[in-house]
Structure 1
Amino acid sequence: MNTPRDGGKFCTLGTVKHPSWQLACFIWALGGCLYLIGFFHRVAPAAISSDLMRDLGIGAAMLGNLSALYFYSYAFMQLPTGLLADRWGPRRLLTIGALLTAVGSVLFALAPTLWLAGLGRLLIGGATAVAFVGMIKLASHWMAPERFALAAGMALLIGVMGALGGGIPLAALSEVYDWRWLLAAVGGATLLLAAIIWFIVRDDPAERGYRSYASRRAGEPISLIAGLKVVAAARNSWLLSVGAGGVCGAVLTFGGLWGVPFLATHYGMSTTAASGYCSAMLLSFAVGGPLLGGLSDRLGRRKPFYFAALSSSLPAWLALILLPELPPLILLLCVVAAGFGCGGAMIITFAHARESVPSQVSGTMSGLINMGAVLGPMILQPAIGWILDNISGVWSVGGQRMYDLEAYRVGFSLIVGWIVLALILFALSHETYGKQSQCSNRL
C-alpha cells in the first residue's frame, strides 16, 4: 500500500474505511499504559515519604528535590519528544520510553544511596515524558478530530488511575512488603509493556490497511526548525504553557507529595487514610478533564469553561490552606472540588493550545504545554520542602518528621498564587472557538 509521508506523518491512498473505534481505542490505550505507569511514579514518593526519609536519611527539602527530579527530566524532554513525534512517529518513542522507564524503576528501587535513587528518578521522568505526546499523536491519526478533547481527557483519566495505584494501594502494600521490591516489580511490568507496544502499536492506521484521520489534516511538511518557529510565534503557546504549570502543579504538589504528610500531621490521619484523600483529589482531577473538555468541544468555546473550572476550584484551595481542622466531609468536598476544577482547566488548555497552531506542529505544541505543566510540580515541590525545613519547627514521631501548620500554609500559598496567575494568563489568550488554526502566522 502506498503511504507517502507528509506533515501529518502519512497521507493514506487507496484505503476504504477508518479503523473501528474499538481498535483505535486499543492502540491508543497501549500508549496510555505507559502514561499510567508514569503517573504512578509521579506520586509514589508521597505514599512512601516516611520510608524514603528514613532509608535515605533525608529531610523535607531533600525529599522535595528527589521527587521533583522526575519533573526536571520530564520537562526537559517535552520539546524534543514533540518534535520527534511529529517527524518519527510515536511507536518507536513509546517503546524506547517504556524500556528506559523499566531500567529507571529498578535503579530507583534498588539504589543504596541518594544519588543513585536520584539518577533512577531522573531516568523515569525523562523516559515517561514520551507517553502523553505519543498518545496525542496516536489520537490524531487513529481518532476523529472532534473527539480530541475527549481523548485528551480520557488520557488524563488513565494517568490518574496510575496515580491512584501510587496512593492507597502502594501505601498499604508498603506496610507489608519492602517498598523497594514493589517498585522493582513495577519495573518488570514496564519491560513487558515495551515488548507489547513494539509488536502491536502502529503510527498510522494505513499500516494496518485502514484510512487515516491524519489525511484530513494533511498539509505541506514543516521542518523541525520551522515547526519550532511556528509554535514560538503563537502568543497562546507561552500564555498557556505557563498557566498550565499552576493548574497541574497545584494538584501534583498537594495530591502527589505534600498533602499526605500535611493531613497525617494536622488531621491525625494514618498514611493510608491521608493517601485516600489525596487520591480523591487526583481522581476528581481525572474526571473533570473529560467532562468539561467534552462539553467545551460540544459548544466550541474554550475560555468560558476554563474560567468556570478554575474559578470554582480556587475557594476550595483557600479553604484547604486557611481553615484548620475541617470536618471530614467538608475536607473531602474541598479536595474533590479543587481537583475537579483543575482537571477541567488542564484538558481545555491542551485542546486550546493545539488549535492555536497548524496541525503539522500539534505534537510540538503538545510537548510545550506538557513541559509547562510539569514546571509547576518541578518548582513547587522542592520550594515547599525548603519552606518546611527552614521556617518550621521540626519534631519526630516514630521516626517520621513533622512540620508546623503555619509553615504548610506559607508553602501552599505558592499554589494559590500560581492558580491566580493562570487565570490572568488565560484571559490574555486568543479564543479558538474549537477550530484548528490553518496558517502559521496566526496570533
Structure 2
Amino acid sequence: MRTAAFSRCVSYTLLVTAFFIGFFNRFAPATFAAPIGETLGLGAAALGGLAAMHFWVYTLMQVPAGLIVDRFGIRGPAAIGTLLTGIGALVLGMTGSYAVALSGPCLVGLGMSLVFVAMMKNNAIWFDGRRFGVVTGVTLLIGTFGSIMSEAPARLLLALTDWRTVFVALGLGTIAMACLILLFWRPPACAEGGRRPVRGTPHRSVWRDVAGSRQLWLVLLAISGTNGTFYAFAGLWGTSLLSDGYGLSGASASWILTLAWLPYGFGSLIFGHLSDWMQARKQLIWLSSLLNAAAWFWLLLVPGGGFAGGLMCFLALGLSSGAQVVVSFAAVKESVHEDLTGSAIAFVNMGVFLATAVVQTTYGWMVALGASDLAAAYRMALWLPAGLSLAGFAAALGVRETYPARPAA
C-alpha cells in the first residue's frame, strides 16, 4: 500500500507539472506578442494567427489524443506529448521567420492534447469517484497558476531577459520533464505489485458510445458556453474589450484578466470538493452556466461599470468556468465505460477549444464590421459570447445526474 501511494504521488506530480508548463505555453505567445512582433516584424493579424494556432491544433487533436491514450496507455503518450511541447517552445524561441514561428504553437497544441488526456486518465485510474472531483480541481488549479504565470509575472521577466531566452529555457525544462515521465510514471497495478495491465483498447463502437451520447453532447454544449467564451476573452479579446470598449487603461484591463484566473483555479478546487461531498454533479453544472450567462449579459446590457464593474463580471466568468469544468469532467467520467474515459473527456474538451477558436475569430470579424465606432462595436459584439453562454445554460438543464456513476447502457 505504501508503494502504491508513493507511485501515485510521483505519477501525479510528474503529469501535473507537465500540465502546468502547458498552460504557461498556451498563453505565453499572447503575453509576449509585442516583443515577438517587433523581433519578427509581424503585424496584428499575424500575431493573432500565432496565438490562435495552438487552439486550432489542440481542438483538432482532442479526439485522436483520446483514442491514442485509451489504446496505448498513459506513459508513452504523456512523455511524447511533453516532448513535443518542449520542442515547440524551443522552435518558437529560436525562430527567425513567421512560418517557422507558427510551427512552435502548433507543436505545443499537438503535445498538450496528449498531456491533457493523459492527465485526466491518470486521475481516473488512480483516484476513485469520492476523490476524483477534488483531485481534478487541484489539477486545474495548478494549471491555472501556469496561466497566471504567463500573464503579469511573465511580463516582469522581460525586464531581466529577452523573450527568446524565456522560451528556450522553457523548452529545455519541458524536454527534461518528458524524460522523467518516461522513466518514473507507473500505473496502479504495477505499483501494487501486480502484473502490468493490458493496454486499454476502446470498444469498436467508440463513436457510437462517445459521439452518439446525448449526455456527452449536452455537457459539451454547457462547458463550451462557459469555458469556451471565457478562454476566448482571457486569452485574446478581454484586454481590448475592457480598454477599447469600456475605456479602462491597459494596465487596469490586464490586472482584471489576471485576477479572473484566481476564482477559476480556486473555484475548480472548491467546487470539485463540494461536488464530491454533495454527491451531485447536475446542480452545479447548471448553476455555473446560469452565473456565466448572467455575467455576459451584464457586460452587454449594463455598460459604464468602470473598473469595479469589469472586475466583478470577469471574476464571475472565471468562477463559473472553473466551477463547471471540474464537475463536468467528473460527470463525463461517470457517464461512460472506464475504457472510454480518455476519448469521452477529449471529445467534450474538443468542444471547449473549438468554441474558443470560433469565438476569437468571429468576435474579431464582428468588431471589424463596426470599425467606424470601435467602442460600440466591442460592446455590441458581446451578443456572441452572451448568446453562446445562454445556449450552454439551456443544454446544462438537460444533463442527467451521474453520481454515483450510472453510465448509459
Do both share a fold (TM > 0.5)? yes
Q: Does 1:74 align with 2:54?
A: no
- Structure 1 residue 415: deviation in Å? 1.4
Q: Deviations over 1:83-129 (max 9, x none)?
A: 22122111111111111111111112232222222121111101111
* Distance across 2 between alignment mates of 1:323 and 1:210: 61
- Structure 1 residue 54: deviation in Å? 4.1
Greater Cα shift, 258-267 or 52-61: 52-61
Partner letter of residue 342 of structure 2? G
Map 1:153-302 → 2, pairs under 5 A: 153-202=137-186, 204-209=187-192, 223=202, 225-265=204-244, 266-271=246-251, 273-302=252-281
- Residues 202 and 339 of structure 2 are in contact (CA less than 8 Å); yes or no, is this contact kept in structure 1? no
Number of the residue aligned with 1:8? none
Number of the residue aligned with 1:19? 4
- Residues 153 and 289 of structure 1 are in contact (CA less than 8 Å); yes or no, is this contact kept in structure 2? yes
Q: Does 1:48 align with 2:48?
A: no
Percent identity among equivalent residues? 29
- Residues 47 and 275 of structure 1 are in contact (CA less than 8 Å); yes or no, is this contact kept in structure 2? no
CA RMSD of aligned residues (A): 2.7
Change over 3 Å in CA distance of 1:325–1:188 after alignment to 2 = farther
* Distance across 2 between alignment mates of 1:225 and 1:369: 19
Q: Deviations over 1:257-279 (max 9, x none)?
A: 221233344444345x5332212
Change over 3 Å in CA distance of 1:56–1:248 after alignment to 2 = farther
* Distance across 2 between alignment mates of 1:302 and 1:90: 26
Number of the residue aligned with 2:381? 411
- Structure 1 residue 427: deviation in Å? 1.9
* Distance across 2 between alignment mates of 1:389 and 1:113: 27
- Structure 1 residue 71: deviation in Å? 1.2
* Distance across 2 between alignment mates of 1:411 and 1:114: 30
- Residues 62 and 382 of structure 1 are in contact (CA less than 8 Å); yes or no, is this contact kept in structure 2? no
Number of the residue aligned with 2:105? 121
Change over 3 Å in CA distance of 1:387–1:45 after alignment to 2 = farther
* Distance across 1 between alignment mates of 2:205 and 2:167: 41
Q: Structure 2 stretches of 5 or more lacking a match?
A: none
Change over 3 Å in CA distance of 1:330–1:410 after alignment to 2 = closer
* Distance across 1 between alignment mates of 2:180 and 2:262: 27
Number of the residue aligned with 2:48? 64
Structure 1 counterpart SS, 2:153? helix
- Pick from 359, 362, 365 the counterpart of residue 344 of structure 2: 365
Number of the residue aligned with 2:135? 151
Partner letter of residue 379 of structure 2? R
* Distance across 2 between alignment mates of 1:112 and 1:420: 44
Number of the residue aligned with 1:11? none
* Distance across 2 between alignment mates of 1:187 and 1:17: 34
* Distance across 2 between alignment mates of 1:264 and 1:111: 31
- Pick from 293, 298, 303 the counterpart of residue 314 of structure 1: 293
Number of the residue aligned with 2:333? 354
Q: Deviations over 1:59-91 (max 9, x none)?
A: 544433322210111112211221221221111
Map 1:381-396 → 2, pairs under 5 A: 381-393=360-372
- Residues 136 and 152 of structure 1 are in contact (CA less than 8 Å); yes or no, is this contact kept in structure 2? yes
* Distance across 2 between alignment mates of 1:330 and 1:149: 31
* Distance across 1 between alignment mates of 2:48 and 2:361: 4
Structure 2 counterpart SS, 1:105? helix
Change over 3 Å in CA distance of 1:357–1:113 after alignment to 2 = same
Partner letter of residue 75 of structure 2? R
- Pick from 384, 401, 405 the counterpart of residue 431 of structure 1: 401
| Aligned pairs, number | 408
Partner letter of residue 408 of structure 1? Y
- Residues 297 and 434 of structure 1 are in contact (CA less than 8 Å); yes or no, is this contact kept in structure 2? no
- Pick from 83, 89, 96 the counterpart of residue 67 of structure 2: 83
Structure 2 counterpart SS, 1:301? coil
- Pick from 89, 93, 101 the counterpart of residue 105 of structure 1: 89
